[in-house]
Chains A and B, each alone.
Chain A
């Protein structure tokens, strides 16, 4: 399978615990995005990387959230001291960037977080 993969698909945790999600993009894609989606809503932008550089972060991304893409390949999204309001689907997407490339996003299946 050469699509975007996310792990774990579902995480249940207690309030106050830390969680980490991993995303493996399509191998030749140099941009990687994280979005959050709650029930009945559209994806909300969190952050994106070009190669290993984190180029933009949403104001939604509080200091409890951190994302990395250390070698420009896979990425991790960590949420510290989880709160019930963090319960959502966390979507990862990747795209190919470059001159003449319009770069539509390719999404993974998502990681669903439930905070009890």
Chain B
């Protein structure tokens, strides 16, 4: 069964510092991996995805993520955090090799707080 884990409930970082939000996954095949951001009382917004190819993928708002197959991880990163990046971040996985399912499994979320 596919699953995704976000080991940190909250990450605090000073504005201007680099940030990392961690995600690990478990699927039977090669995963499709996604990051979403959620602001208060809003729906989830797509940030970036990894499907195949280059392990470093770039997305919206200066975010990037690195796929590491040996560590089954897909950590979200940004070189310089902004206060406006403070939000709830979700990692999601889909296993395209599991026949008959197109469902996406989400992690429990990590709250990012960027301190001025």
Interface residues, chain A, CB within 8 Å of chain B?
A: 4, 31, 33, 35, 40-45, 48, 50, 55-56, 91, 93, 97, 102-110
Contact = CB atoms under 8 A, between A and B. Distances in A.
Contacts of B92: 105
> What size tier do the contact residues of chain B reach?
20 to 34
Given A55-B102, A56-B101, A42 B90 contact: yes
A32 B29 CA distance: 24
Contact of A105 (B51, B101, B104, B108): B104
Interface of B: 6, 32, 34, 36, 42-46, 49, 51, 90, 92, 100-109
20 contacts: A31-B102, A33-B103, A40-B109, A41-B108, A41-B109, A42-B109, A45-B104, A45-B105, A48-B102, A48-B103, A56-B103, A91-B43, A102-B32, A104-B46, A105-B36, A107-B36, A107-B43, A107-B44, A109-B43, A110-B42
